[in-house]
Every structure is written in C-alpha cells, then in structure tokens.
Structure 1
Amino acid sequence: MKKLTPMMKQYFDIKQNYKDCILFFRLGDFYEMFFDDAIIASRVLEITLTSRECGLDEKAPMCGVPYHSSSSYISTLVQNGYKVAICEQTEDAQKSKGLVKREVVRVITPGTIMEDVTLNNNDSNYLMSIFSDGISVGISYVDISIGDIFCTSVQNSTLKEEISKIKPKEIIYNCESLKFDLQVVCNQNNIFLNNNSSEFFCGKNDIMYKYFDRSYLENLNILNNLSIKSSLLGLLEYIYSTQKQITSNINNINYYNSSDFMFLDTFTRKNLELTETIRNKEKKGSLIYVLDKTNTAMGARLLKKYISEPLINKDSIEYRLNLLDELVNEYSLREDLDIELKHVYDIERLCGKIAFGNINPKEMINLKKSIDRIRNIKTIISKYNSINLKTLSSQLDDLSDLYDIIDKSILDDPSANLKDGNIIKESYNDEISQLRNLSRNAINIIKEIESKERIRTGIKSLKIGFNKVFGYYIEITHSNLKQLDIPDYYIRKQTLSNAERFITLELKEIEEKILNADERIKDLEYQLFVDIRNKLYKNINRIQSVAKIIAQIDVFNSLSKVAYENNYCKPQINTLGNLEIIDGRHPVIEKLIKEENFVPNDTIINKDDCNVCIITGPNMAGKSTYMRQVALISLLAHIGSFVPATKANICIMDRIFTRVGASDDLSQGQSTFMVEMDEVSYILKNATKNSLVILDEVGRGTSTYDGISLAWSIVEYIHDNIGCKTLFATHYHELTALENELKRVKNYCVAVEEQGKDIVFLRKIIEGGADKSYGIHVAKLADLPEEIIERANEILIKLEKKESRDINNSMYEVALCKEETENMYKQLDLSHINTMQLIKEISSLDIANMTPIQALNVLYKLNNKAKSMEMI
C-alpha cells in the first residue's frame, strides 16, 4: 500500500481525536472534509463531492466550503445532529517551512453553538449536564453565549419534567442506566443527546477552580453535594474541551430547588399552550404570544423563564405585582421606557462574544449605543414616583468608563470584519493618524520629494517613477547627468540607454511606509481592537449585571402594557386555599376572537364548602375554555402578572395538573384510553391539597358504565383523600348526584338556550347540572349529512325510553326500528353476533372431563340461549 501524503497524515492524526465530529480542515480559503466526513457533509449540505490524491491506491472523497461563509454550513450540520470540529492553520503559511501547523480550535455542538445564524435571539440555547449517583440526579445547565449556570438536584421520578421545563439543546450525562429515559424525553422535545460524554465526568475539581473561587463554591455548598458538583464538573469539562479556553462570562452559579417553583408537568405545559400551540408548535395562539411585548432579546428570554417557572413564595410574587402596579399606572413612564428599550441590543450575548473573542467592531458600537440608552433609562425612572422600580434601577451601573473606552477608540461606523481595517479613530492613536495620512497623501508626498530634488539638482526634467522591481526611483537623463555633480546621498540603481536611475534613503523610507501603510494600519487596528476588547473582558461581570436588570425592566414593562391594554386586574394572593375569580377571561382566546366579545365567568373554590366543581354541558359550549382559563389565570398570578378578570384572589398553589383531550402513544403500545389513565394516575399520585387539577372528560375512552364508574370513583378519591382544587368536566350527568353525596362537591353547567330544534351556546357557567349533552345539535352545527342527524335523533329517543334496561336490549330495540335501512340492520344484527358467540362457547367445552350432571347443566343453558335467538 502507498503511504499517505504528509498533509493527509496530518489530517488523520487530528481526526483520530475527533472521531465523532465532522472535521473542518483548513486549507487556504476553504474548510475541506475528507472520506466519510465528506460523504456525509456533501449529502447534508447538498454540495459537490469530489476527490483528491492522498497517497493511497484510491483517491480520497472530498468536499469543501469557503471559510468566510462557513457559519451557515456549520449551523446546518449541527441542526442535523452532527458535531463539527474546526481545524485551523495555527501559523503563517508564508513564514512556515514545510507543512503548516494545524490544530482544532473549537468543537461546535447543538449546546455550544455561538453563531448568530443559528441562535434564536428570544430563546436560550442551553447545554445540560446530568449526573446520577444512584440516589439523586444532579443537573447543571448553561447558555454559553450568555454565561449564567443553573444547578439543582432532582429525583429520578421528576427528571423528565425538569428537562421538559428547561428544554436544553444538548444533554451530556454520566450513567448508561439513564440513556433509555433520556432518549425518550429527548425525542419528545427535539434535544440532542450526546452519547459520547461520560468521560467528562471523570476529572477532578481543578476545572471548577479555573472558573470559580473555592470560597464561592463552598458558600453555595456545591462541593458537598456529590450529584450537583459532579454535574457541574462534567459541564465545565465539556465546555473547555469544545471551546479550548476558560471564559470570563461564565462566572455565576444560580443554585435552586425545584420546589422553589410551581410544578408543571409536561402534559400541563403542553395542554395550557404556554409557549407554543399544541397543533402547529407556533408562538401565535400561546400564552407568551399575548404576554410578550418585550423590546429586547434579553427580556424575551427572561419572560419565557418566568412563564416556565411560576413562583410559589407569596412575598416574591407580591414584589413583582407591586412593581408592575407602578408601571400600569404610569402611561408616560411605559412609553418612555419603550422608546429607550427598543434601542438596547442583546447585551448578554455581546458579553459572550467578548468572552470568546468573537465580537466585531460593529457589535462593539452596538454595546456603546446600548450603554447610552441604559443611562437614559436610569434618568427616566428617577423622574417618577415608582419606589420599587427606582430601587431596581438604582442597581444599574451606568458603565460610563466602558462607554468612554469605546467612544474614544472605535469609529462610529466601522467595518463589520475585524481584518478589513477601518476600525480605530485617528485621534485614538498617533501612528494610525500618520499612516492614514500617508496612505491618503502618497501621491502628494512623492510629488513633494520630486519638487525638492529638482530644486537641489537644478534639473527641471528630474522625475520620480515606480516599478514593482525597484520600487520608487529618481530618473535623470544622460544629457542632464553631464552637467550634474551627483549628490553623495544618491545611490545608483539602474542604467538605461538614455537615463540613469537612483534611490535615496529618504525615498526608500517613504516607499516602505507607503507600500506597507495599509497592511500596517490593519495590523495595528487589530492589535488596538484586541486591547480594547480585553479591557471590556475584564468588566464582563459588570456588563452582565446591567443586562439582567434591563431584562427585568423590559419584562415588567411588557407585562404592564399587556395589563393596561387588556384591562387586567392586580390579583390578591392568599395562603388560605381560597380561589376567587370574578369575570375571568381566557387571555389568549379573547385576543383571537375579534368578531365577538368574550363571555367572562366567575370561579369560587374554597377548602371548606367547594373544592370540587363538576361541570356539565354540551361540547363546544366552552367547558374546556373555562377550565383552561382558570388554570392560566392562576398561573399568571404566580408569575407576578396581572390577570384577565375584574377581581381575583388567588391562593398559593404548589402544582397545576391538566388532563385534557385525547391522545395516544402507539410507539409505546398505549391506546388513547391507556394514556388517559396513565395521566390521571400520575395526577392522583402527585397532587396535594394545595394543587389545582383540571380533568376534562375522564372516562370517555371506554364503555359508558366503565367510564361512569371510573369518573365517579376518581371524584370521590380526590374529595376524600387529596382535597385539591378540582374542575371536573364531564358528559356523565349521573355524576351530578355526587353533589348530594359529598360535602365539598358543587355542580356547574354551561348555559344553553334552545330555539326550536336549534341551540345557542351562552358560554356562561352557572350553578346546577345539565340534563342533556346536545351532542346531536353539535353534530348538526358541524354540518353532518341530514339523514345522519335524523337517524341519530331516532336512535336517541329509543335509547332514552330503554335507559333502565340492559344496554344490549336497548341496542336491539334500536335495531328493530331501522327496518327501512338494510345496511345498518346488518351492522346491528345481534342474531349474527349471538350465533358466533354460541359457536365459540360450544367449541370451548371440555366434554371429556365433564360429569354427567355438569353436561346436563351446560346443555340446558345452551338450549335456552338457542331459544332466545329464535325469538330474535
């Protein structure tokens, strides 16, 4: 076999350490990929696959992308689940002898991507690290483009819920036993599960001390918690291994208990459509669609975090409500803040770019502009009597020193590319000023030297020329040389047929400056820019602190606008277990139905008289909307928002559970009804007396009697054993009898007005139980064929007359009244069904082992069944 070429050997040596990555191998102005990497990349990126001599018998498959436009290609690969290792030339090709040195400078994965083309400004891009010690699970996660690390510890049973809440882009983990469960939740939430990550959890604490002081970690009690410490260790090791550097933007750890926030399981988040709709996975139609009037990307991300993590501490909730109250009542303050916030850039991610050395000159100007607006925000707030908002803004560092650093050094409209020059102000550096002046006035400078030499020599035809071989030169004709006493500083360079060419030290110095001015300007500007960036790097923690406060101000300003524009009220918060909502409205639906007014409804639940509300009424009448609005109003209050109601007194809730709609999980072998029962089981096992439970049509997935029995038993269990606040919507009118059986159960129904054969949904929840389902009316509204509607009414009348008889006999009577429809008669032909049942029963008899008496008894029963079939 032939030997590999030196370049391909270098490629293979580097690739050996990055087997699970697509290796972007820098060759000049391109990133090249070879062998399997090239085959994969050409298919995913839809680029041409070629080949290259590599020293082997066959050419190496190859494809490549221009390095200056590589971001979009890298992002495409990462979005398709691949990791990309960037291998750069780490020495100047012109100065190196032999093969240029190359090494991987960064590995890009879904959780470590920094490119703007991929990052969603309004979403966090979390990398999550999970460590299980067999008892508890430690979780650490971070958006490296922002820097804040979050840590917690959970039980195995709630790990999936925590992941679903955070929705990281990538997960690394230590324990193979976690793989199956993690793969399930990752598939459900489109998360990249890194199956080659256990090695990052094997290190010592050294990496943590490179990011944080030991005293800082000890104060947080991180070092004494094995699972959290190990998850943090794995996270930092992975970041360092992919980014090849320690960065100052990762400088803060937020340790929290999951019990600090309201628990919302995956089903509840999905059913309440908090951040995306169930059907289309879109923002429009979700809760955040209504609430998000933020002006900054930082505010948008924080608002989403508020919605995902409702508070359960009364003081913390009331702090937010009081701050919001100040803004709701100050229209001018809101408008003034709006104007300023619109011009604040994503400071958090600008800090990340400073930390990783990726910030460009235009982005630095954006930071300067943002600092200027921050100073304005602080001034605006000081003019109003808003105590809580003033306290918050008083913590704002105006960053004047950093503003001055950028303002004095960077051009107001610099190049976007750092290597293109046109970055530094001339007033900032004397050499820059001289070089730019030299570059701009090169022709005039040469003309001045030429004029000066003409005067010195007295030769008016003396001229200064230029060629690529000799550079600048002084040219004098032979006839003029005869009368010239050649100056000592003239150095003869070239003899021509009719002239002599000379150079001088002055001319060569000017030549060197002119020819190298542009390159020197670019090099000098780059060095100065890096110095400026380093000054900002040392102050990243200050900038990050400001960004956090601005994000809060933006969120509160957004919520105050929503509250004012939609006529929300400030809720009272209680710890007594009472829930009172007057004229409550669904925050999303009332915004979507533009042609009609939303009908508000009251909700009163308390632990003494009524903790279970059984709600009956027809489909499409508004039961589900009503129950969801109660859940959303309760959740809004817990995030510290005003709520869509005339008045609201909301008790502290530890959890909200919802069981709404029909779904299945066929991949796991679960039918719709099995999924329903699983969800109900989960709720009953985890709900407490301080929870809110929404159950919609439980039991409808099985037979009528089974369904009623289950629904009845579930209501009893909630009432007697849990005592949680429950809204239970059902079509089983039989359940309304529970109001007389159980002390804290009350019946409610949706008001309906009958107009002849038609009905009108009034959308109003009133006390009492419904005595009809109006299902056929709803079918008529859906425009089913008229013959189906008429036939359904005919069947309904028969069934209602026979409601006290066995359901099979009732269906038999229904079949008899349908002689005119031969096809339907065949479908309901009970004699055929009974015949098959009789045959099956006879064939299963074990005659050989029967006693004579047993045989006679069986024969007697079969004889009676046959006689009853003859009657049919």
Structure 2
Amino acid sequence: MMRQYNEIKIQHKDALLFFRMGDFYELFFEDAKLASKVLGITLTSRSKGENSIPMAGVPHHSAESYIRKLIKAGHKVAICDQLQNPEEAKGIVDRGVTRIITPGTVTEDSLLEDKSNNYLMALLETNTLFGLSWIDLSTGRFEVEDIQKDRLFDEFARLNPSELLMPEETFHNHTAFVEKIRAEYNIMITARPDWEFSKDTAYHILTEHFGTTSLEGFDCEDVGPALGAAGAVIQYLKDTQKTSLRHIIKIQRYRADNRVLIDKATQQSLELTQTMRTHDREGSLLAIIDQTKTPMGARLLREWVISPLRISAEIKYRQVGVYELFEKPELRRELRNILSNIYDIERISTKISCGRANARDLIALKQSLSKLPALKDQIGFCISDILVTTEQQLDTLEEVQTLIGAALVSDPPPTIKDGGLIREGYDPALDELKYISKNGKSWIANFQAEEIARTGINSLKVGYNKVFGYYIEVTNIHMDNIPKTYIRKQTLKNAERFITPELKDYETKVLTADERAKDLEYDLFIRIREKVSAFTPQIQKISETIALIDVLSTLANLASENRYIMPEITDSLELNIIDGRHPVLTRKLINESFVPNDINLDGVNNKIMIITGPNMAGKSTYIRQVALLVLMAQIGSFIPAKEAVIGTVDRIFTRVGASDELSRGQSTFMVEMNETANILNNATARSLIILDEVGRGTSTFDGISIAWAITEYIYQHIHARTLFATHYHELTELALLFPGVINFNILVKEWGDEIIFLRKIVEGGTDKSYGIHVARLAGIPKEVIQRARIILNNLEAATLDINGKPKFAPLKTVQDKRPTQLKLFVSKQDMVIEEIKKLDISKISPLEALNKLNELKRRLEDNNGL
C-alpha cells in the first residue's frame, strides 16, 4: 500500500495527497506534518523507531471542511480515491487521483463566496503586452484580454484572482515580479510548461475543446498573447479536474474600450468592494447598494460596480429598465419575491455538468425553474427595451422540471450512493427491489401460511440463520407428510430443516435487494443527471437573465427606498449635481444628518476645483462623493441627489490618503508620487480626477511646489475635470492665473476658541487650516496646544507678507489675455524680476550667465525677495 502511495505522490509533489483508506483520507510523511498544523488534527505514525511514518487522517464524509481550510491556507489538495470495491479486490485496492483542488478550481459551495466570482487567471508576457485569460470554473465564465503592461495590477485588483498560471520561464527568471504579485495580492502562483502557452498549442486546445474549426465565432481569432494564456487555462483544468468541462461553452473577449477604467488605487480609495482599513465588504459602496436576491445577481452587480459603462447609449439602455421598475412598485415587489426563491442555478448547472451534483442540487434546480413562468409573466408587462429582451430570452425549461419532478423524491438525502433518491413509480425494477427489501417479512409469513395449508402440517414454520439462510422446519412426527419438492438441509434432534427452489430464489432476492436497489438508484440518478447536463447552455443563459432582472430591480428598489433620482447622462463634459449626498455615509450616519452639496463643472470655464478647509470639515468626503455618484450613474443606477447632469467619464482617478509600502521599499511620499504620475500620464480630457492632499508627504515648500505644478499641468495639458482638496490654501492663488480654476471651501463657524463644522461647500478660498483646533478636539495635551500656537504665529510672521500672502509662492506669469493692474510705484524687487524676464542667456557664455544670475539672486535677497 505504501508503495502505491509513493508512486502516486511522485506525480503530485506540489499537492497534499488525500489517500483514501476505508472511511478516511490519510496523509503521510511531510503532508501529514503540514496538515496536522494547518488543520489542528492529531499527528500519529505507522510503526515505530527508524521506520516510523508520520500519519494524519480525516473522515471522508467530512473531508470538504478540512479541504476548505487547506485551500484558504494556500495549498493544493489531490484527492486519491479507491477505484474499485474493496470486497472485489484480489490484492491492493486500485487507487488513483480523481481530482486536484486548487484555489482557482474549486466548485463546492462551501469553498466559494456566493457574492463574488472565483477566478483562475493565466498570464503571458510579450515585449509590449500582457495576455490575460481568466475563468470562473464554478460558472463557466471564460474571458481573454490583451492589455498594456501598466494595466496589469489594475486588472488584478478588478478581478481578484485566486490563482495565477504563468510559464515556467517567467516564474523562474523573474522572481522579483513573482514575489511582488504574491505580496500584493495573496495569489497562489502555479508555474506551467512553456509549451502550453504557445499560440499554436493554445489554438488547437481551444478549438478542440469547443468543437470548432476556428475561433472566429467567439471574436477571438486575432487575439494576441491572451490566446496562449487561454490555452494554458483549459489545459490546466483538464489536468486537475479529470472530468467533463462541457459547461465551458464559450470564450469571450473583454472589451475595455466601452468600460470606465478604474485603477487599483482608485478602487481602494473609493472603497468600492471593501474598506481600506479592515478590507471587509461591510462599509463599502457594494455592501450599501447590494440588495440582490440571488447569488447570480450579486456577482453581476459587483462586476458592474468595478467596471462601469462609458458609452452613454449603453448606460441609458440600463437606466430605462431601472426607471420602469422604479415607476412600478407592485411589479418590482412581485419580481423580488419570485427572485428570493431562486437558488444559485449558475453554479448548480456547473456541478451537474462536472458530475459533482447530488440529488438536492437537482431539486434546487427544479424548484428554481418552477418560478420562471411567473417571472416571465411579470416581465411580460414591461415595455423598456432591456426588459422586453429579457422576457424573450427567458426559457422556462419545463422538460427539465418534468424530468426531475418525475424521477426524484422532493427531499432526497445528501449522498447519492445510499438510496432514497428515486421516486416510486419511476422505474418498475427499482420498485420491485424496494418492495422485496421492505416487505420480506410479510412474504415469508404468507409463504409459511401457504405451506401449512398445502401440507396440512400446522407446526411448520419458516426460519432464518446466517449459516443456512431461509429454511422450512418440520418436527419429526410430521415426516410422513413432507412433499417431495422439499430438499433436506439440516437434521436436528427433534426436527428436520428443508429448503425449496422457490424459497431459495426469494432468499437471493431479499438478501441482495437492498444493495441492488441502492446500486440501481445510483445508476438511475447518474443517467438523470446526464440528461439534465445536456441543458447546461440554456441554464447558463437563464442564469444571466435572472441576474440582470435581479440587478435592475435592486437598483430600482434602492432608488425608491432612498429617494434617489435618475441622472441625465450626456456626452458633454458637464458635471452638474445639485444636493448630492454620499451614498455610503448617508446610510451609515446615526447621530447627525448628512449635509448635501453641489458641484458644477462644465469642462470649459470651470475645470478644476481647489477645495480648502480644515481637517474633519468634509473635504475628502465631498470629493469621494462626487466620484461615487459619477460611478453609480455610469452603471445605470439612480443617485442620491436632487438633480444631476453627468457627462460620461472614461476613467476615474484618485490620489487619496497616505500609505507606505515598506515591503517594497517605498515611502508614503513615493507611493503618492507613483499614483500621481499614473494620473498625469494616463488621464484624458474626459477623465475625472480626484486629488486629496497631494504633496503632503514631504516638506511644506516641496509639497506646495509639487501640488502647484501638478495643478498647472492638469489645466494646461490634460484639461480633465478635477477636484483638488488641499490644506495648502496658497493654491487658491491659481484661480487668479487660470480662468478654469475655481476656489471652494468647507464652511466652519468660529466661536471663540471653538469651531463648528458646517459641512457645506461654498465658493471662495480659505487661508486657515484650523489644524491646532482639530488637535485639541482629539485630546492632545493642553501644553502641546499652547506651544503649537506660539510656533504657528512665529512661522506665519516669517513667511507671510503684509497682505497675508505667502512670500514663497508668488504668482507665475502666464499668457493671459486679462489686463494686469497698473502699478503707481515699482519696488526694487519688481525691478530685479523685470531684469530676470528680459535676460537672454543664449546670447552670453555660460560663465557670464552664471555670474549674472548670482548677482540678481543677491539683489533679490537684499530686497527680501525670493
């Protein structure tokens, strides 16, 4: 047996081998040691001394819970089952690996999150691109995309894969890259042979799997390196699953050109699917808006949130469906009642197709399908294009309902080999076996009565023992009346025991009826499951349709319950929201009501908002609020506002918060600059940029200089709609230089040494930060507060001019058609500045230029200039 174990283990070195022995899965050697630590199970051993073999085991009937722990701990598990009945084995029972379970290939409900997809991803790098392919094995969703290299980590953040496949060459020769992925995303990375990623191999694997001669029907004929990644995905699934992959019926090309691109930093800072601090779903935008009734709907809503639409016509197509259900509350309630009784048929259909579904899964499918006629009838009252199309695509699959209903009992057991699955009347042979098994005693009693009547021997009785089976016992005084058909079997002191052909035939039936019934039930169930699996494509389409109805009704219900309005979606650059409210905080505030605020950017005269105000006043909340409302609008949702006109955005960028990545050798400021560089290099005029405290991670002068220059660059080169919240109130001077820059501040009310946050944004800048006030509110000791006031007064005296303006941030002269104010007197400092402007160093030597600049510098310093 151990020789057999070692031969199998050699083939699966990277997995923990669950080796079936009777009622247990056993692990040996290093596998046993590791499993005992992760699972908290007892580590024992076979034999003693030098030949001791470490050993640990788990019951096979509860193995799933142990496997779940191992998968979550980042391990693979190879399931080695007994391939023959131990009673039929002449020697060692045949065993073999029937499945390898990895984080990216699980299909069991207990191992999956029902509200999110579980993706297995493959990656192939070329000189200019990354080819990506990802699949959710539990649903059959299979996609490919070629991306620019700078988008890789944004796609990791969007898809959150559980496992990543990459060529062995990349895995072994780019260790820093591999470790970076592991560290940032906690993904299991599996190296696969390079040949599996070749385009020719992948093309053959994919066409063979789909049974096609080309990939044109999937619009994937001209896919680049992503095609190699897709081939590697299918090959990996074949190697690990060792079962049918028939539920993977198509491959789709992910089209980023009609989606709003949201990078990793923006997904995190806007807390779309989880919070930044706890990484929990609770407190995120998705948690607040998710009122879906089905797991399919929850997964679709998550996809919409992390990948909004950017084409106005597509947004309006969804929006009209939401509006119709918003306007029809009775219809909406009825739809949601029906949806609440539908199970996760998308994942059930996968289990059926892969041969892993039990009878309860089929009953859940039948019960779900039984709700579809009512759902179809309700949707039939709708007139919006999206809901009309949905009703037309909704197949009720009555033949599947009929098959399952006729074949299976309504409440079957969880196992499929112990009987109790098949309904009476479905199969006559099974009914007979069950009758014999259940009614053996009554048959024997009837047989005994018939024999007494036939022989006239009143003391005749039918008995049973394990040695001889069923027998007829007759006392010696009645030996003369024994029929010739009786066959003597055993002699007792005062009686003889006989058998008859009829009794032995029945004995064979009775003694084997139960096992034969169980075997027949199992065979019948397998055949039924196979018949249902033929409908996998239709069930998948039904699942997509149900998910869409669920999400549309959820967004309509959300709007109704929270007084949301339908925003006007346009192709302009306008962003006009009146009385907008933060979708998350509005729902979570307990002790105070949320103060609504407006925004009005037209992308021309008003492009950039500089927002100043103290800590805790609400600057960050306001700018995040605007981004979230735009995002919600572009998934087709209503938004919390009084009125809204939203010109679509192509990307949403945020630079919010402070965090360092010390494991990567990056400080807070370096992370901040990396994220800002990404914005400046990738934003367009149609993007929405959200900046919060850029430049805060370095010295004050450095920070203001960088923040100022960044804002100028966005204004002059990118032209994007931008909200910049800052403590650098010196940046308000930008509004004097650029007509598209406007100042806003968060109102506060001063009352002696107290400040009251009014949470209202108004036009105009501010020149006070109130940081010391906030420190006092936080409980900083009084002595520290008093000392801080003295230091602040000294710093302001040294850095502000007589007009209260910073000496270190004079206005930059730009080409501006607005007339400058004439000055009656010209200062010495201004005279020097004019000399600097007129200086043409191209006409003099470098040494002369250096000397001249040093002279001008000294004169400026003498005049208290910069």
Asked if TM exceeds 0.5, the reply is yes
Which residue of 1 is the match for residue 701 of structure 2?
A: 705
Structure 1 residue 152 and structure 2 residue 145: aligned? yes
Structure 2 SS opposite 1:48: coil
Q: Deviations over 1:473-529 (max 9, x none)?
A: 1111110113x1x32321111111111111111111221222112111111111111
CA distance in structure 2 between the partners assigned to 1:804 and 1:562 by the alignment? 51
Deviation at 1:179, TM superposition (A): 4.9
Change (3 A) 1:774 1:379: same
Structure 1 residue 500 and structure 2 residue 493: aligned? no
Which residue of 2 is the match for residue 469 of structure 1?
A: 467
Which residue of 1 is the match for residue 835 of structure 2?
A: none
Which residue of 2 is the match for residue 791 of structure 1?
A: 787
Deviation at 1:191, TM superposition (A): 1.5
Which residue of 1 is the match for residue 243 of structure 2?
A: 245
Deviates further, 348-357 or 90-99: 90-99
Which residue of 2 is the match for residue 13 of structure 1?
A: 7
Structure 2 SS opposite 1:596: coil
2:649, 2:686 within 8 Å by CA — same for their partners in 1?
yes
Deviates further, 213-222 or 126-135: 213-222
Deviation at 1:41, TM superposition (A): 1.5
Aligned pairs for 1:640-659 (under 5 A) are 640-659=636-655
Structure 2 SS opposite 1:138: strand
Deviation at 1:257, TM superposition (A): 2.6
Structure 1 SS opposite 2:507: helix
Structure 2 SS opposite 1:408: helix
Deviation at 1:656, TM superposition (A): 0.6
Counterpart amino acid of 1:44? Answer: V
CA distance in structure 1 between the partners assigned to 2:492 and 2:419 by the alignment? 40
Counterpart amino acid of 2:94? Answer: K
Change (3 A) 1:299 1:386: same
2:408, 2:423 within 8 Å by CA — same for their partners in 1?
yes
Deviation at 1:439, TM superposition (A): 2.2
Which residue of 1 is the match for residue 97 of structure 2?
A: 104
Aligned pairs for 1:57-96 (under 5 A) are 58-96=51-89
CA distance in structure 2 between the partners assigned to 1:108 and 1:198 by the alignment? 22
Structure 1 SS opposite 2:598: strand
Q: Deviations over 1:623-668 (max 9, x none)?
A: 0000000000011111111111111111121111111111111122
Deviates further, 253-262 or 11-20: 253-262
Deviates further, 397-406 or 733-742: 733-742
Identity value in percent:
46
CA distance in structure 1 between the partners assigned to 2:105 and 2:547 by the alignment? 23
CA distance in structure 1 between the partners assigned to 2:665 and 2:442 by the alignment? 85
Counterpart amino acid of 1:192? Answer: M
Structure 2 SS opposite 1:306: helix
CA distance in structure 2 between the partners assigned to 1:43 and 1:791 by the alignment? 55
Which residue of 2 is the match for residue 43 of structure 1?
A: 37
Deviation at 1:542, TM superposition (A): 0.6
Structure 1 SS opposite 2:370: helix
Counterpart amino acid of 2:32? Answer: A
Which residue of 1 is the match for residue 685 of structure 2?
A: 689
1:160, 1:182 within 8 Å by CA — same for their partners in 2?
no
One of 151, 173, 180 as aligned partner of 2:176: 180
TM-score, with structure 2 as normaliser = 0.90
Counterpart amino acid of 2:163? Answer: E
Deviation at 1:415, TM superposition (A): 1.1
Structure 1 SS opposite 2:627: helix
Counterpart amino acid of 2:320? Answer: N
2:143, 2:253 within 8 Å by CA — same for their partners in 1?
yes
Which residue of 1 is the match for residue 270 of structure 2?
A: 272
1:290, 1:562 within 8 Å by CA — same for their partners in 2?
no
Change (3 A) 1:561 1:197: farther
CA distance in structure 2 between the partners assigned to 1:452 and 1:424 by the alignment? 34
2:135, 2:141 within 8 Å by CA — same for their partners in 1?
yes
Deviation at 1:670, TM superposition (A): 1.9
CA distance in structure 1 between the partners assigned to 2:294 and 2:420 by the alignment? 29
Which residue of 2 is the match for residue 813 of structure 1?
A: none
Structure 1 residue 480 and structure 2 residue 478: aligned? yes
Change (3 A) 1:194 1:641: same
Aligned CA-pair RMSD: 1.8
Q: Deviations over 1:242-270 (max 9, x none)?
A: 00123211112121232331111111000
Counterpart amino acid of 1:150? Answer: E
2:207, 2:213 within 8 Å by CA — same for their partners in 1?
no
Aligned pairs for 1:714-753 (under 5 A) are 714-753=710-749
Which residue of 2 is the match for residue 837 of structure 1?
A: none
Structure 2 SS opposite 1:304: helix
Structure 1 residue 404 and structure 2 residue 402: aligned? yes
Change (3 A) 1:367 1:216: farther
Counterpart amino acid of 1:278? Answer: M
1:347, 1:547 within 8 Å by CA — same for their partners in 2?
yes
Deviation at 1:390, TM superposition (A): 3.0
1:172, 1:197 within 8 Å by CA — same for their partners in 2?
no
Q: Deviations over 1:88-114 (max 9, x none)?
A: 111222112212211111111110112
Counterpart amino acid of 1:341? Answer: L
Counterpart amino acid of 1:370? Answer: S
- List gaps (5 residues or longer) in structure 1: 1-6, 811-872
CA distance in structure 1 between the partners assigned to 2:677 and 2:403 by the alignment? 61
Structure 2 SS opposite 1:576: coil
Structure 1 residue 308 and structure 2 residue 306: aligned? yes
Deviates further, 173-182 or 782-791: 173-182
1:183, 1:193 within 8 Å by CA — same for their partners in 2?
no
CA distance in structure 2 between the partners assigned to 1:626 and 1:215 by the alignment? 55
Which residue of 2 is the match for residue 617 of structure 1?
A: 613
Which residue of 2 is the match for residue 670 of structure 1?
A: 666
Structure 2 SS opposite 1:117: helix
Structure 2 SS opposite 1:145: coil
Counterpart amino acid of 1:555? Answer: V
Which residue of 1 is the match for residue 536 of structure 2?
A: 540
Aligned pairs for 1:510-529 (under 5 A) are 510-529=506-525
One of 149, 164, 185 as aligned partner of 2:157: 164
CA distance in structure 1 between the partners assigned to 2:633 and 2:195 by the alignment? 44
Deviates further, 276-285 or 377-386: 377-386
2:310, 2:650 within 8 Å by CA — same for their partners in 1?
yes
Counterpart amino acid of 2:689? Answer: V
1:172, 1:198 within 8 Å by CA — same for their partners in 2?
no
Q: Deviations over 1:718-741 (max 9, x none)?
A: 100110111011111211111110
Which residue of 1 is the match for residue 832 of structure 2?
A: none
Aligned pairs for 1:262-661 (under 5 A) are 262-384=260-382, 388-482=386-480, 484=481, 486-661=482-657
2:320, 2:384 within 8 Å by CA — same for their partners in 1?
no
Deviation at 1:383, TM superposition (A): 3.9
- List gaps (5 residues or longer) in structure 2: 807-866
Counterpart amino acid of 1:108? Answer: I
Counterpart amino acid of 2:149? Answer: N
CA distance in structure 1 between the partners assigned to 2:384 and 2:179 by the alignment? 49
Q: Deviations over 1:107-158 (max 9, x none)?
A: 1111011222221111211100112233322111111111110111112221
CA distance in structure 2 between the partners assigned to 1:295 and 1:333 by the alignment? 15
Q: Deviations over 1:595-629 (max 9, x none)?
A: 22111111111121011111111111110000000
CA distance in structure 2 between the partners assigned to 1:66 and 1:270 by the alignment? 41
Counterpart amino acid of 2:63? Answer: S
Q: Deviations over 1:521-545 (max 9, x none)?
A: 1111111111110001111101111
1:351, 1:540 within 8 Å by CA — same for their partners in 2?
yes
CA distance in structure 1 between the partners assigned to 2:627 and 2:769 by the alignment? 24
CA distance in structure 2 between the partners assigned to 1:94 and 1:315 by the alignment? 67
Deviation at 1:168, TM superposition (A): 0.6
CA distance in structure 2 between the partners assigned to 1:373 and 1:464 by the alignment? 54
2:142, 2:248 within 8 Å by CA — same for their partners in 1?
yes
Deviation at 1:23, TM superposition (A): 1.1
TM-score, with structure 1 as normaliser = 0.89
1:210, 1:246 within 8 Å by CA — same for their partners in 2?
no
CA distance in structure 1 between the partners assigned to 2:384 and 2:67 by the alignment? 48
CA distance in structure 2 between the partners assigned to 1:383 and 1:719 by the alignment? 50
CA distance in structure 2 between the partners assigned to 1:225 and 1:733 by the alignment? 50
Which residue of 2 is the match for residue 766 of structure 1?
A: 762
Which residue of 2 is the match for residue 190 of structure 1?
A: 186
Deviation at 1:184, TM superposition (A): 1.6
CA distance in structure 2 between the partners assigned to 1:216 and 1:68 by the alignment? 44
Counterpart amino acid of 2:66? Answer: Y
Counterpart amino acid of 1:18? Answer: H
Change (3 A) 1:65 1:683: same
Structure 2 SS opposite 1:419: coil
Structure 2 SS opposite 1:590: helix
